Structure 1
Amino acid sequence: MTDIPPRCWNESEQAAVREQLERILRSTSFQQSRRRSRFLEYIIDETLAGRGDRLKGYTIACEVFDRPGTFDANIDPVVRVEAGRVRDRLREYYDGAGQGDPIRVELPKGTYTPSIEFRRTEAPPNAAEPQNADGQAHAAGAEAHAERVSGRFARAKRSPVALSAFAVFFLLIAAAGWWAVRSSAPKPVAGEAGGPADIASVPAMAVLPFTNLSGDPKEDYFSDGLTEDIQTELARSRDLRVIARNSTFQFKGQPVDVQKIGRDLKVRYVLQGSARRVGDNVRITTQLIDAKTGSHVWAEKYDREMADLLVVQDEVVNQIVGKVAGSYGAIESSEAKSALRKSPEQIQSYDLVLRAREIVQWNWTPEIFQTARNFLNKAVALDPENSRARRELAWIAVMGWVFRLDEKPVPADEIARQAAKAVELDPADARARMIAASAYFFTKQLDRFGAEAAQALDLAPYDAEIMSTLGCMISAAGDHDRGVALAEKANRINPDASIGWYNSTVYTALYLAGNYRRALEIAKQGIQDMFYVYLEIIPIYGQLGMKPDAADAWRRMQRLYPGATLQSFADWWRLWNINDDEVGRLMDGVHKSGIFEPDARTGP
């Protein structure tokens, strides 16, 4: 990449950088936050004007955040906090939509001067080419972007290759053509008519500016930052339409009539809240209101110590968004209840998907899965392009096969095809990515699993079900530290969404670490009447010498899994891509449980 030094920007370079700035500001990471956008615009304008090396916190506070001349960064950390947010959002943008952009903008730690790098293989427009000792121009090397794969599935795909002048020329032409096509192609946006999440079929909501109750207007940066971050994260959801910031911030400091706001903005839900800082502590309260009825759907308060402002804010924002918009969240639950109240004449394809999701959330049986499948097939009949219905059909196919809930399981290759189709219908749907990842995981396509899992986690970092489900699979495949961390984070965000996945991830990792007593405690927290629960608790009982408990679990497992044998245990763990060494250690617990001793096989 070619690094452009400060104070050397010609007109072509400036035009290219400003075009890149517009791309960034149109992204989800920035479009909901005017403060963040103003910050980035200002530091880039100053850099292009040749003043980048003179950017200071005091100047930014006065010019961007309208602070008075008495501003003191030791008292008011607004610039430092907003710089951290801009830094994180730029990283997020280039990890996602901006991966192939020709210019990369970063905000290095310890400075307010942005780093602007041209990623094209040729030199920037009108810039002199570097010369070698013989006076010949060097050809810049071409970098191929590796597919972004997380954890243990990451693979290096780049190697230095010497290219002839002809090869470089060919690559440049191909890259330019690719970029032109990519830039001009329309991109579906969640909540836009005609996109995957059609306006008519998803609930709309407004996030009102959080109220600063600290008594000091200087603290507005914290409450405003909370609001903007919540808006940004909620806007990721494909099952929700979030009203833009410029429509909601007009209500800042105004008396709130939620039902009138609902009518004016045409939204079903309104999220409002407050922040109060007292010394080193902060209390954040929030409530979700049904704007149609004025009733409360959900409310919560968060008390935190302000050791690290950004860490606290990220944690609270993730928890709020996860409880409101994630799987098993307040809006999904509210919408499902509304769908159940509708008459057959009122039922739409969207309502049928909600009904299917609702019934499979709390209990998995063959009968429930079949009912859900019927709802989803009806949804597809009403709307063949309903990506959510096809997504959920693929999910039921995967889980029905793995957890033995289908009398005639869908063939593995068909499961993978259905999951891939769900992603094709809506590539920005994090849940579709999770379902595709799951299909690839159980069909032993671990490279593809890693790629889809990374995409799902990037698209919905607040969704506890996605996080815990993929965490369970990542841990099973050997990366226990990362898998357990994801499961534990999911459990903090929304325990309802992570139950089962969280428990299995943690107690299996504890078992393999030799902490059998703690493994048993976690296993008993998530007891459900499913065969795998009894199968996985038996080796724990075995290691603890609790043979009567193991025998009881074995009898319960046989009721749900007739014909199960010793081999069934090993087959189960191998289905989950657990390596042979760890399967052997788990089987050791099964043998010690005594369930295959003659006395244990004869029971009621």
Structure 2
Amino acid sequence: MPDEKPILKLPSVGIDPLLLDAYREYEGSLVQGVHAEDFASTDPSASTLPTQQILATIAVLPFSDAAGGSDSEYFAEGIAEDILTELSRFRNLLVIARNSSSVFRGKNLDIKAVSKHLKVDYIATGNVRRAGNRIRVAVQLTYAPSGHEVWAERYDRDIVDIFAVQDDIVRTVAVTLESRLGQAIANQAAPRSVPSLAAYECLLLARKFAEVHDPDRAMPYAERALALDPSSSQAHAMISHCAYTKWLREPDDEILQKMVQSAHSAVLLDPGNASAHAILGMALTSQRKYDEAGSHLERALSLNPGDTKALAYHSEWLLRMGDAEGALRTLDDALLRDPIPPPWHWEIRGLILILLEKYADAIHAFARQTKQFWYIAAYLAICFAKLGRIDEARTELRKALEVVPDHNLLRFRIVDEFQSQSFREKLSEGLTLAGLD
């Protein structure tokens, strides 16, 4: 084999260096608020298992940048995340979601310990090396109980073929894990709307910030991606997601309308984009268009049964429709695949627990959401009031009124989103007990 060319530290394609500095500042923020108990908080026997037969469980850990410390680290992690997303399309694999697997990064990981925390059979690791116009992706698949490496491969490609590299890896891993189903399973990998490389890098960074509910930092990346590749379904979906996180903070109808329009565009550009259907389902749920929302959420889960965000959105939709028990089962399915979930998982769980009249448990759940939005303050006011802790209830109610000062509007926004009359009455009664006129 000829000697390799020296590795060059290249500037990221199409990315403003100032925004890259912002990314570095946020590195590690996705695991803020993770508690030690999170690693042992999920008992699979206590959760609702997927109805299909699971042949193997796998975690795809963040890939590393082989050059070390370069601006391409997020690019390496993005490749791993997209591999994870593609693997989750296969109904016979239980794939641990990104938020849980991203906690474990580094070169000296104890594979057996990681597998114990995530409760998986197989762990995929890898690294990416970029040199000039060439890229090398190395992937290893380890059987976790024994620590035995069952498969390893290295892919060298021109940088323009990075998406072909990813598809090669997905198919090879799928065949290795599901040998009984062979290439028939691997061929189910759905084609995606592939943006240009620069737009793709922008999307990776937008996703970093959006998932920690920082739309102000995420939106410039999403808008840049859309400008670079206007036909990208993924870029439109990311714009919608950024609008959603902004709307949660600022309940303005114009922001919500932007979320809906961008999600519609994403679905029109790629009807097979599960993430686009999921965010459109959440947007329509927020507009109280429940029937249409449900059809898009079901489509998202049909396209990608392992999409934990779609499962969480579907859980919230079920709750809005009046099915608290079904919502909790669906959220438990998501937790099975993502045992260290993103912080916003806990606000959905907290609301479910309120409507199941488990107020102390709901308070604990809300405390694990790192972004304490105005509506969480209102939910906490209800919990404290129902538990007779009136002073604490009034303190939380004042926080909610700072954002939505009109008492009638606050009650409307908290209560009217539910189809169930009993749920409406329960929440309204709690707000009154907390001191809302």
Partner of 1:351: 201
- TM-score relative to the length of structure 1: 0.42
Distance 1:516 1:285 in 2: 46
Following superposition, the deviation at residue 400 of structure 1 comes to: 3.0
After superposition, the Cα gap between the structure-2 partners of 1:290 and 1:438, relative to the gap in structure 1 and judged at 3 Å, is farther
What's the offset of the Cα at 1:420? 1.9
Q: 1:548 aligns with which of 391, 407, 427?
A: 391
Equivalent residue for 2:79, pick from 203, 211, 231: 203
| Mapped pair 1:392 → 2:235 | no
Partner of 1:509: 352
Matching residue within 409, 421, 432 for 2:254: 409
Give the length in aligned residue pairs. Answer: 295
> 2:216: which partner in 1?
370
1:579 is aligned to 420
How far did residue 426 of structure 1 move?
1.5
Alpha-carbon spacing, 1:520–1:424, altered in 2? closer, same or farther (3 Å) = same
Correspondences of 1:291-370 after superposition (within 5 Å): 348-362=198-212, 364=213, 368-370=214-216
The answer for the alignment partner of 2:34 in structure 1 is none
Paired residue for 2:366? 523
The answer (yes or no) to whether the contact 1:206–1:270 under 8 Å persists in 2 is no
Residue 254 of structure 2 aligns with an amino acid whose one-letter code is: P
Q: Distance in 2 between matches of 1:285 and 1:530?
A: 46
**Is the aligned partner of 1:593 residue 2:418?**
no
Aligned to 1:459: 303
The two structures, once aligned, show a CA RMSD in angstroms of 4.5
Going from structure 1 to structure 2, the CA distance change for 1:390 and 1:232 (only over 3 Å counts) comes to: same
Q: CA deviation at 1:274?
A: 1.0
Distance 1:267 1:530, change over 3 A: same
The reply on whether 1:535 has 2:378 as its aligned counterpart is: yes
Partner of 2:184: none
Structure 2 CA distance for aligned equivalents of residues 286 and 432 of structure 1: 36
Structure 2 SS opposite 1:203: helix
For the 8 Å contact 1:391–1:435, the answer to whether it is kept is yes
Please name the residue that 2:330 is paired with.
486
Q: Which residue of 2 aligns with 1:568?
A: 409
Unaligned ranges ≥5, structure 2: 1-51, 56-77, 99-124, 156-176, 179-195
**1:261-283 alpha-carbon deviations (Å, 9 max, x no partner):** 999x976352412165xxxxxx7
Residues 525-545 of structure 1: CA deviation (Å, up to 9, x unaligned): 335321111111111100101
Letter in 2 for 1:375: Y
Q: Is the contact between residue 442 and residue 575 of structure 1 (CA under 8 Å) also seen in structure 2?
A: no
- Deviation track 1:341-373 (CA, whole Å, cap 9, x = no partner) reads xxxxx98111111111111211x3xxx423322
Amino acid at match of 2:432: H
- The alpha-carbon deviation at position 204 of structure 1 amounts to 7.7
- Which residue is equivalent to 2:181? none
2:54, 2:94 within 8 Å by CA — same for their partners in 1?
no
* Deviation of the 1:524 alpha carbon: 2.6
- Cα deviation 1:512-561 (Å, max 9, x = unaligned): 233323333323333532111111111110010111211221233344x0
Q: Which residue of 1 aligns with 2:283?
A: 439
CA contact (8 A) 1:474 1:482 kept: yes
Q: How far does the alpha carbon of each residue in 1:459-492 deviate from its partner, in whole angstroms, 9 at most, with x for none?
A: 2222222211221222122122221111122223
The amino acid that maps onto 1:386 is S
The letter of the residue matching 1:581 is: S
Tell me, in whole angstroms, the C-alpha distance in 1 between the residues paired with 2:153 and 2:251: 36
**CA-to-partner distance for each residue in 1:144-165, whole Å, 9 max, x for gaps?**
xxxxxxxxxxxxxxxxxxxxxx
- Equivalent position amino acid for 2:79 in 1: P
1:416-435 mapped onto 2 (5 Å cutoff): 416-435=260-279
Counterpart amino acid of 2:201?
Answer: D
Local SS of the residue matching 1:272? strand
Whether the 8 Å contact between 2:210 and 2:241 is mirrored in structure 1 is: no
Q: Counterpart in 2 of 1:272?
A: 141
Distance verdict in 2 for CA 1:291–1:422, change over 3 Å: same
C-alpha distance 591-360 of structure 1, shift in aligned 2 (>3 A): same
- CA distance in structure 2 between the aligned counterparts of 1:555 and 1:526, rounded to whole angstroms: 19
Kept in 1: contact 2:89–2:306 (CA 8 A): no
Query: What does residue range 203-242 of structure 1 map to in structure 2 within 5 Å?
Result: 203=79
Who is 1:140 aligned against? none
Alignment match, 2:188 = none
Which structure's CA Rg is the greater one?
1
Pick closer, same or farther for the CA change 1:521–1:566 going to 2, 3 Å: same
Kindly state the Cα deviation for residue 405 of structure 1 after the two structures are TM-superposed: 6.3
CA distance in 1, matches of 2:365, 2:433: 20
Instruction: Output the CA distance in 2 between the equivalents of 1:583 and 1:595.
Output: 15
- What SS class does the counterpart of residue 208 from structure 2 fall into? helix
1:140-194 Cα offsets, whole Å, 9 max, x none, are: xxxxxxxxxxxxxxxxxxxxxxxxxxxxxxxxxxxxxxxxxxxxxxxxxxxxxxx
Q: Classify the secondary structure of the residue corresponding to 1:268.
A: strand
Gaps of 5+ in 1: 1-83, 88-201, 208-225, 238-256, 277-282, 293-312, 315-345, 597-604
Counterpart-to-counterpart distance in 1, 2:400 and 2:417: 19
- Return the alpha-carbon distance in structure 1 between the equivalents of residues 241 and 207 of structure 2: 10
Letter in 2 for 1:468: A
Q: Distance in 2 between matches of 1:483 and 1:260?
A: 39
Aligned mates of 2:232, 2:339 — CA distance in 1:
29
Residue 169 of structure 2 corresponds to which residue in structure 1?
A: none
The CA deviation string for residues 105-160 of structure 1, in whole angstroms up to 9 with x for no partner, is xxxxxxxxxxxxxxxxxxxxxxxxxxxxxxxxxxxxxxxxxxxxxxxxxxxxxxxx
- Pair 1:287–1:575, CA change in 2 (3 A): farther
Match of 1:471 in 2: 315
For 2:262, give the aligned amino acid. Answer: Q
Output the CA distance in 2 between the equivalents of 1:397 and 1:231.
34
**2:8 paired residue number:** none
- In structure 1, C-alpha distance between the alignment counterparts of 2:330 and 2:355, rounded to whole Å: 18
Distance in 2, Cα, partners of 1:205 & 1:594: 46
TM-score under structure 2 length normalisation? 0.56
1:493 Cα deviation after fit: 2.2
Structure 2 vs 1, CA of residues 288 and 436 (structure 1 numbering), >3 Å: closer, same or farther?
Answer: farther
Q: Within 5 A, what are the aligned runs for 1:103-182?
A: none
The equivalent residue for 1:130 is none
Indicate conservation of the 8 Å contact 1:477/1:576, yes or no: no
Q: Would you say the 8 A contact 1:259–1:291 is kept in 2?
A: no
Provide the C-alpha distance between the structure 2 equivalents of 1:228 and 1:424, rounded to a whole number of angstroms: 21
